Each structure stands twice: as C-alpha cells, then as structure tokens.
Structure 1
Amino acid sequence: MPTLLLGPLVRSVEATSAAVWVETDTACQVRVTAGDVEAVAPTFAVHGHHYALVIVDGLPTGEATPYQVHLDETGVWPLPDSPFPPSVLATMDPEKPLRLAFGSCRTSVPHDAEGNATHGVDALRAYALRMAGLSRSDQDPEGQQVRWPDMVLFLGDQVYADETTEPMREFIASRRSLDEPPWDELKDYDEYAHLYKIAWSDPAIRWLLSTLPSAMIFDDHDVRDDWNTSLTWRRQMEATSWWHERIVSGLASYWVYQHLGNLTAAARAGDALWQRIQAQDGAGELDLGPELDAFADRVNEDPTAYRFSYVRDFGTEARLVVVDSRAARVLEPGRRSIVDDVEMAWLDEQLTGGFDHLLIGTSLPFLLARGLHHLEAFNEALASGVWGERAARVGEKLRQAVDMEHWAAFQDGFAEVSDMVVSVASGERGPAPATVTFLSGDVHHSYVSEATHSRRRQKEGAAPLRSRVIQAVCSPIRNPLPRAVRFGTAFLSYGVAGPIGRAASLSTRVRNPVLGWEYLRGPWFDNNLATLEVHGRDLRMWWARGVVHDGQHDRPRLEQVADITVREQASQHSRTGREDETGESGQPGTAQRQGATSG
C-alpha cells in the first residue's frame, strides 16, 4: 500500500477551490474528498520521489470543509487517533476582512529543553498548538471564539541548506563522507527532500500546514548564505566542484515543495511544467526529473526565463504582491539590480491603486534600519570601485562577511521601487490605498517602520503622500540572533549609526533616497509569528511568541509580544496622531488581549 510521507499541505486557496499537496512513497492515485466534492490526481516523480497537487474545485465560498486523503483506495489522512481537530479546506470569501500570518527563518531542531535552549521556542509550533486547542494563552478571554488566519505567508528560509542540524547531518553521513565537499551542507535533490521532511513532519506543524493555506518565497538559506550577493560571490561558487548540482537541486526542489503550491488557477494555466504534469496520458507515472533539472539550470543562468514572484488579490480590500529578491538578481558591474528588467516591469504593473491595502511581500526588508541602509549603500559604492581597486576588494570582503546584500545594497532597484511606491501612495496609479505595506523577514529581528517623503523632497514642496507607507518585519520564527549580535543590531537601529551611515554613503556620492523613514516600534528579537488584520481602511498587526510554562517544553503557550494599529490618515493631506497607533510591548493591555485571539 502506498504511504503518505509528507503533507497534506493546503496551498493556493480561492473562492471555490483549494490545492492540496502531498508526497508519497510510490506511484499512486491521490484522492481528496471534502463533503460532496472529490478530486483525483496521479503522482509525478522527481529523482525517485513522488508528488501530487490535487485541485479540489466546487467547494462552498468562504466555508471550512473537513477533508480526507486516500492513496489509491487507502485512507491516509486524517491520521488515526490524532489529538488534532479535523483538517479543513477553507475557501476565501472576498467579503470577509483578510487576516494573514507571516514570518521567516525557521530552523528544525527538537522541541525539547535542549532545542529550546539553543534555538528558542518554535513560534509556528506554539501557534499551531493554540489553533488546535492543545495549549492556551493567559491572554485569552474566557469564552471568546477564536478566528484564525486565512493564510500564512512564509518569507524565506523555511529550510537551511547550509546550516544543517544533527538529524540532517546523520542522513548526509549515511550517504557520503562529511569530510568531502560540500561537507555537512546539502548536495543533491535527495538531501533536499529529506530536509523538507524534517522541517514539516512534526505533528503540530504537519497539522497546521494541513489546515491553514500557505504561500511561500525563498531566501538565501534555502540555497546558501549570501546567495547571489555579487558577481564575485557567484564566480566563487561556480568555481567549486559542487555548486552546480546544489543550485539545480535547490531550485528544482523549491519548485516542487514551495512554488508549485503558490500558483493560482490562472497562474497554473500558464506554467509549462504544470501543464506537462496535467498532460500525463495514464500510461505510467510521469518522470519530471530531467525536465525540472533543465528548467532549474536555465533559470539559474537566465533569471528572466521564469518568474517566481506572484500576486494574489482579495477583492478590492487587499492585493498581495510577493517579490523574488534572490533568483532574479542582475549582478553585472554597472547594472546591479535586485530584480531583473523583466521582473521589474512586472512589479511595476502590479503596484497599483484601487485597493484598500497594497501588501508587498519580500524576504529582504525594503526599509532597513537607517544606519544599516546607508552602510549597505556605501558598501555597494565601495565594492564597485568608487575609491579604487584596493578599496573595492575590501568592500567585497565586507559585503560577504556581514551580509550587506539587501535592497539597500542594490541602489538602482531600491530607487526604482521607491518611485513606484511614491507614485501609488500619491494617487497617480488609481485611488491611493490606505496603506502600502512591505512584509519581510531575513534579519532575525522584528520591527515596524513608516516612510514618507525624504526631507529633501519635503523642502521641494512635494505634496504629502495619501497612503501610509509601512515596513513590517517578522523574523525569526525559530532562529534567534546571538546576544552579542543583537547589541550591534540595536546600535545600528538607533542613535548615531544612522547619521554615520549617511555620512559614509554621501562620501561615495550615493544618491539621496526619495523616502525617509523612522521606527514606529522595535526592534525586538523574540522568535515570533506575526498576524496582519484588515479593519476596513485600518491595518492591525500583532506578533506572538511561544513561552514554556511549568517545564512543558512540548506544550508552549502563545504570548503576544507587540501590537500596532496603522490607522488611515484623517484626510489625504494630514496624518492622525500616533498616540492610538501602538500598544505597549511585552505587557499587553485589554485591547491587545482581545486582538491576539478574536476577530
């Protein structure tokens, strides 16, 4: 009998349909039944692994329907004697206000005292236990019905291909020597498949992913730290004996495990690999491996060959644009860009008005702390040779050593997107949204910033923006910074680091940004998962962490860390006061307690 190895994961969900992803141990027919609706799909193979994406259509709009999974004729989900509630397919209701969870950076280590001591409590797992009713929070109002997110957006580093845990190293050692390249890092597709299995197999995480729709985008550690930082970095990788297999395996496995499920029905219709899967003739299981490897190789060489970015609309209430800020980079000297020309043109088309909230998901924060931003801009200029060849070599070493490779380190792209944002927020691309909000991760600390015109543009008499421009970061879900690094991050977030960084960037004649920004809240360094709630033209976001009580490391409670409401401007020419925009961090008041759990 076929066995369910991984999943089910509920992925792209629309008004009447849901995509269910599974991995099995052999070729089979995968059948999903939800009420009176049934859908069947054959598996396809990649390097000896077997997958299916089952599209369940005809579901009731805006309702949650329990479902079951069969492989051939064998029922495999729900698991027998599971302590978790029935998994459901919850379709989107365009009339219901959007609630979206988001976060990034999650390592997979045991959920015991040792694992929590080294990596902190897994915020995603604490969230899952609370959703399932298997733990509670001291902040829960008695008898309050909980409304959970409509979906979760993972903003990169779901798996760490270069910083492996003991279970992953044991698997690698069973196949090859750890004393040979690439040592204890991932080498091929089989190792990626095992890494995803470790990441998604914990019972609480598995249940969460089986009932909460998810969208995903990669970041560097899904492939390797500093992936596509610079042309020098790329040439160093390509000179190794193992990089080509690694990047092909990383992109191929990403397409299977993460990207395929991101696609809506319209996007699937235009995807050549998905159409190949759909065209299976029933003569046997499709082996997609060779085509997928060729695809990954082509995308690595030419980022314009495929777009990993995608867009989701939630009626006129919100548009979510998720941007690939890793694979689409252009690294040639003189034309560095964090996304290529084709991707930039696509992004330009998506950033429009007419929505209450324009949400832009990008793994790397668009607006870093100002000190960090200016230092990265300075470093890009230095590494490009503005002070000569010797200084350029120093700049490149610094760039790779301290991860200076965010949007700020690609100034041309940063400036271009900044202009787009100003255009949207000024009402030049249709009715201005109440907010233009960047959702990001990567930096292993969380914060909220707000941007408006830079001082230069204000002095020039630029009309105030009609939209509030917000940067919200949630990182990590489980991978905290060492305390010494936290101190450095805090220094670069506050105080004199901003002016020092700006002076450094001016010394290399880095252009003045059209936006200026400041913190509304943060930074804080907890493992946490954030939730965004649309309240008409207002936007509320709260962050929650897992906390161990009474030594119950396997049953952490969910506790709120921070809470902020971004209110629509009182008019298109003035801003509301900020006294009602933020709650107190750490010790929540009544509004925070209610907001953490109620709709």
Structure 2
Amino acid sequence: MSALLLGPLLRYVDEESASVWVKTASAAMVAVRAGKHRASARTFRVHDHHYALVELAGLPSGTHLDYEVMVDDELVWPTSDSSYPPSRIVTLDHSKPLRMAFGSCRTSVAHDAEGNETHGVDALRAYALRMAGMTDSSAEHDPDPDDEVRWPDLVLFLGDQVYADETTAEMRAFIESRRDIEEPPWTELKDYEEYTQLYELAWTDPANRWLLSTVPTAMIFDDHDIRDDWNTSQAWKDEMEATEWWHGRIVAGLASYWVYQHLGNLSPAERKADEIWQQITSHDGEGEYDASALLDAMVEKADQEPETYRWSHSRDFGDQARLIVLDSRAARVLDPEQRSILDDNELAWLDERMRGDVDHLLIGTSLPFLLAPGLHYVEAFSEALAGGAWGRRGAALGEKLRTTVDLEHWAAFQEGFQTVAAMALEVARGIRGRAPATVTFLSGDVHHSYVSEARITRRAGRGQPPLKSRVVQAVCSPIRNPLPRRMRFATAALSYGVAGPLGHVVARSAKVPKAPVRWRLLNGPWFDNNLATLEVTPGGLHLWWARGEVHDGAHDRPSFVEVATLDIDDRR
C-alpha cells in the first residue's frame, strides 16, 4: 500500500506561498520540494486517519514550479507509472488576467458507460483531461495544454462536492460492510469513517487527482455535504435532532469538512489564527497530534452556536478582483420570529468585505442569490406564510412547504436577502469605494445553469445615485449530477413559466417586501453537466461553460465541448 492515500491537493496559493494537503497511510513527516524550495510538516491525526498540510513560503511571484511529495523521505508523488504531466505550483501574478473555474454538485460514480449513462460525463474530469493534453476541445477559450497561462488560477467548488445522503453503489457497499443498512441512518453516512471513504471516492480518479494536485482550489459546503435541506428551518432541525443518529452525522460531517475542505481555504495567516490549527502546529511532543476530541467539540458547538466559528472566507487578487465565499448553510438563524440566512456576526463580517476599489467583486454562495424572479417570490411567500401571514394554519403549511419543496434559498430568508442586496447596490453605486465593473454572484445548487442581470427598480432608485457596476448572477450546476430529462422540462416550465405570475400574486397577498432590483435572464437555462470559467478581460468579464462529450465509445476520454459563452462588458 502506498504511503500516500489521498492527494496531493494544491490548495491556497498566492504570490509567494502555496499550501499542499495530503492524507497518508500512517503517522509520518511529509515534505514538498519545488525547485530549490522545500517545506515539511508532521501529520496530525483525526479518528485514526493521518493528514498533513505543508506550506511553502518565499516563492517568486508568477513562477511555474514542478513539485514532488515525500513521505518519510520516500518519493510518493508523482507516481512512477503516471501518464500525466508533472504537478505544478504556479504562484499568482496579478499582471496576468484572472481566470477562475467554478461549479457545484458532483457525484462520484465510475467513468464508464454505465456511470455516464446514469450520471452523465464528469465535466471536471473532461476539463482535467483537456489540461493534460489527452483529449480534444471545441471550446474557444479552453485550458490549452500547450499554454499554461490559460490554465485556471483557481477552481471554486460551490457545494455538494460529496453526497452524504444520496450514496452510490460503491459507497453503499462500503457502508454495508460495516453495519446493517436496514438500521438508521440506512444507506446514508453515519460517522467520520464513512466520510473518509466518501472523499476517497470523490478524489482518487487519476485525472481528477492530477487536476487537484496542480490547480489551486477553494471550497464551500452546501446541503448534500451534510444532508438534503440542511438547516431549511427550525422545524427541520428539531426533527433531525430528535433522531438517534443525527448528532453523530453532523459532527462527522463538519469535522471531515474542516479537514478535507475548509483548512485549505485559509491563507497561512488565517490558519495561524485558527484554534485547531494552533494546537496542531504547536504540538511539540512525540508523534503526531490527535485533533479528534478538540475538533469534534469545536464543530459540535459550531452547529448549535454558529457564531462561534466562521466557515466563510475571502481573498483579494490584487486590484483585479475580491472573492468572498459565503456560508449560506451553517450560519443561518432559524428562529421563526427572526429568520436570516446569515447571522449577525456573519453579516458584520460580510459588511466589512463588501467594498469596491477592485475591478470585480465576486461573491461565491452555493445557493443562487437571484433565482428566476417568479420562483424568488414563491420562496419569499413561503417564508411569509410560515411567519403567520395567513394565520396559524397557514404557518404550519408554510413550514411544511419549505422542506417538502426545497424552498430554502436566499429568497426564503428575506431579511438576509434584503440586507445583502442593499450592500451590493451600495458597492455598485460607488458608495463603498470605487465602483467595480461588476458585482457578480457565483452559485450552484439548482442543477441547471444560467446568467441573470439585475437592474435597480424605479422605486428603489428614487433619490439614489445610479448604478456604476453591472450586477450579475452566474450559476454553474451540476458538474456531475444531472436532472433526469423529464425533470428538466418541468424545472424550466415551473421556474421560468408558472412561477412567474404565481409568485407575484401570492407574494402580494402575503405582503412580501419587494426586491430592490429587477432581474432578467441573459443566458439559459441549460441542464448539461458542465464546469464554468470566468476570465477578467480589459472590457469586463468573459464567462463560458463546457461539458464532457463521449465519441466513438471512448468513455474514459471525453472531449471538452463548449456549452455557452457570454461577455459581460463594463457598459452601464
């Protein structure tokens, strides 16, 4: 068995540093060597699994460095039988236009005829194969393997990287090997051990593993990382907490998320301020530090008191862009008397970062900030109904609807929606520093992709400065988990047809506050498995979506095919 079980994952990279995450087979010293630069770290332990995060510092800006990973001085990466190019660290160069891929919702099934028949072609894997020069492409702005300048500076995963509730046959077989699947939580995940297997299924395909080793990544959870409808309402949470298995699930889900996803989101300075990381790095005893008890206690408290830990994160890319990645799941206020998708501490943190003085303000949130307009008002109506707009019986019906029909996006938490919309408009008006060319929300979740643009309403604009920025919602979903074809028409018809007039009628009847903006589709919807890419251009943003497409039965070598493209220029 290899000493390296998972990874390496290239995580936070800036102008002069890079962080590399690995999982090892046992306690070890892990070293990363990139040219003349070398750094090492001792593994830490969580529930008998071993991890390390190695930070290389003092790297030159804009430098391309092939790197190797050693475990106890044994070379473990790249593997001797690899057919992929060397894994590479590319430090940021802010004179180069930012290019960032993004998307959400990716299941882990085989990349063969059967897997592609049931779940479609993995768009991330098609992207990886194209980067490695192993497939063709019809995308005009694809990640040309001969031009690494065109590779993404970051891949932003906007939730549902793993599915803890909708398990695949391979994951179910692992669960069944450990326990009786006729007992709760059945074929859903139960504990940390099962989460470790789920991440291994997600990240060990050779093509995807290579991509994750050579392109920096940022991540945020959504509901399926824990469970469908996670924190939809207090009623939902009460129901879950009444079960005998939920406590173990939420602790395991958040603890594994901290290890596998969150830790690598943070800059070296931010990690130094993290309580768990402080304990890990300050350990000077023999052997590795066991973070299990401390981590479990932290996430257990964070679940009950969200203000005690922040999962959101933010970073600047020079003057080109600021990326704010929001936790729109764990930080919710579920009190029926005062609902909000973000608690006061999270809103205060966001308020500090919703500023201009960059060319583009990018807000990553797993749930679309702007749904189809009619659906927005249907969801807002469900909240008003649950809040008693139609009396006590209506309130009970509203709570039922929220969970049954997944009415739990930003629109269903109007206080948070209105507050963040006001922040975004102040940025776009130039009230919060120099107005950027765009204020762009990047999202996933809804299993279709689209782009919308918001305009100020006449009422909200009265007496206010005009917008100097374009306010855009760009959605990419799924990477690999398509809706059944019969559901695609229904989703389009309901979201963009029936929900339109219905939403406005019921919203007025419940006195739902009007949104301060109107918005319209610029492109979409489309339902392919796809991965989106955002590129900063001299005139604004260039956005494009691409998918994998199988030709001549070559399921393991899908071509990379463009689905849609859109330019957002800086015209007002």
TM band (smaller chain): over 0.9
Question: Could you say which residue in structure 2 is the equivalent of 1:437?
Answer: 440
Structure 2 letter corresponding to 1:483:
R
Question: Is 271-280 or 554-563 further displaced after alignment?
Answer: 271-280
From the superposition, tell whether residues 336 and 307 of structure 1 become closer, same or farther in structure 2 (CA, over 3 Å): same
Structure 2 letter corresponding to 1:49:
H
Deviation of 1:81 (Å) = 2.0
From the superposition, tell whether residues 159 and 374 of structure 1 become closer, same or farther in structure 2 (CA, over 3 Å): same
Deviation of 1:461 (Å) = 5.3
- Counterpart Cα distance in 2 of 1:464 and 1:546: 42
Structure 2 letter corresponding to 1:127:
Y
Structure 2 letter corresponding to 1:543:
W
Matched position secondary structure for 2:178 = coil
Question: Is 79-88 or 130-139 further displaced after alignment?
Answer: 130-139
- Counterpart Cα distance in 1 of 2:201 and 2:497: 41
The alignment status of 1:78 with 2:78, answered yes or no, reads yes
From the superposition, tell whether residues 505 and 209 of structure 1 become closer, same or farther in structure 2 (CA, over 3 Å): same
User: Which whole-Å deviations, capped at 9, do the CAs of 1:316-364 have from their partners, x for residues lacking one?
Assistant: 1100000000000000011100011000000011000100000000000
How many pairs does the alignment contain? Answer: 569
User: Which whole-Å deviations, capped at 9, do the CAs of 1:145-170 have from their partners, x for residues lacking one?
Assistant: 46110110000000000000011001
Matched position secondary structure for 1:494 = helix
Matches within 5 A, 1:405-424: 405-424=408-427
Q: Give the root-mean-square deviation of aligned CA atoms.
A: 1.4
Structure 2 letter corresponding to 1:137:
S
User: Which whole-Å deviations, capped at 9, do the CAs of 1:193-250 have from their partners, x for residues lacking one?
Assistant: 1100000000001000000100000000000000000000000000000000000000
Question: Could you say which residue in structure 2 is the equivalent of 1:563?
Answer: 565
- Counterpart Cα distance in 2 of 1:41 and 1:265: 13
Matches within 5 A, 1:358-507: 358-458=361-461, 460=462, 462-495=464-497, 497-507=499-509
The alignment status of 1:303 with 2:306, answered yes or no, reads yes
Matched position secondary structure for 1:443 = coil
Matched position secondary structure for 1:118 = helix
Q: TM-score under structure 2 normalisation?
A: 0.98
- Counterpart Cα distance in 2 of 1:523 and 1:556: 23
Match of 2:255 among 220, 230, 252: 252
Question: Could you say which residue in structure 1 is the equivalent of 2:127?
Answer: 127
Question: Could you say which residue in structure 2 is the equivalent of 1:201?
Answer: 204
The alignment status of 1:33 with 2:33, answered yes or no, reads yes
8 Å CA contact 2:139–2:546 kept in 1: the answer is no
Structure 1 letter corresponding to 2:126:
A
User: Which whole-Å deviations, capped at 9, do the CAs of 1:529-573 have from their partners, x for residues lacking one?
Assistant: 00000013410100000000111011000000000000002xxxx
Matches within 5 A, 1:513-532: 513-532=515-534
Deviation of 1:280 (Å) = 1.7
Question: Could you say which residue in structure 1 is the equivalent of 2:332?
Answer: 329
Match of 1:355 among 329, 343, 358: 358
Question: Could you say which residue in structure 2 is the equivalent of 1:100?
Answer: 100
Question: Could you say which residue in structure 2 is the equivalent of 1:62?
Answer: 62
Deviation of 1:509 (Å) = 0.4
Q: TM-score under structure 1 normalisation?
A: 0.93
Matched position secondary structure for 2:165 = coil
- Counterpart Cα distance in 2 of 1:227 and 1:159: 14
Question: Could you say which residue in structure 1 is the equivalent of 2:283?
Answer: 280
Deviation of 1:58 (Å) = 2.0
Deviation of 1:389 (Å) = 1.9
Structure 2 letter corresponding to 1:395:
G
8 Å CA contact 2:549–2:560 kept in 1: the answer is yes
Structure 2 letter corresponding to 1:45:
R
Deviation of 1:483 (Å) = 2.1
From the superposition, tell whether residues 540 and 238 of structure 1 become closer, same or farther in structure 2 (CA, over 3 Å): same
Question: Could you say which residue in structure 2 is the equivalent of 1:585?
Answer: none
- Counterpart Cα distance in 1 of 2:559 and 2:151: 16
8 Å CA contact 1:366–1:407 kept in 2: the answer is yes
- Counterpart Cα distance in 2 of 1:548 and 1:462: 52
Question: Could you say which residue in structure 2 is the equivalent of 1:578?
Answer: none
Q: Which runs of 4+ in 1 moved over 6 A?
A: 140-144
Deviation of 1:17 (Å) = 0.8
- Counterpart Cα distance in 2 of 1:390 and 1:114: 47
User: Which whole-Å deviations, capped at 9, do the CAs of 1:32-80 have from their partners, x for residues lacking one?
Assistant: 0000011010000000000000001122211120000000021100011
8 Å CA contact 2:160–2:221 kept in 1: the answer is yes
User: Which whole-Å deviations, capped at 9, do the CAs of 1:396-421 have from their partners, x for residues lacking one?
Assistant: 22211111000000000000001001
Deviation of 1:372 (Å) = 1.1
8 Å CA contact 2:133–2:145 kept in 1: the answer is no
Matched position secondary structure for 1:432 = coil
- Counterpart Cα distance in 2 of 1:88 and 1:538: 29
Deviation of 1:2 (Å) = 6.5
For structure 2, the residue ranges without an aligned partner over 5 or more in a row are none
Structure 1 letter corresponding to 2:506:
A
Deviation of 1:265 (Å) = 1.8
Deviation of 1:266 (Å) = 2.1
8 Å CA contact 2:2–2:76 kept in 1: the answer is no
Match of 1:152 among 141, 152, 155: 155
Question: Could you say which residue in structure 2 is the equivalent of 1:586?
Answer: none
From the superposition, tell whether residues 166 and 8 of structure 1 become closer, same or farther in structure 2 (CA, over 3 Å): same
Structure 1 letter corresponding to 2:375:
L
8 Å CA contact 2:130–2:145 kept in 1: the answer is no
Matched position secondary structure for 1:322 = strand
Structure 1 letter corresponding to 2:456:
H
Question: Could you say which residue in structure 2 is the equivalent of 1:262?
Answer: 265
Structure 1 letter corresponding to 2:210:
W
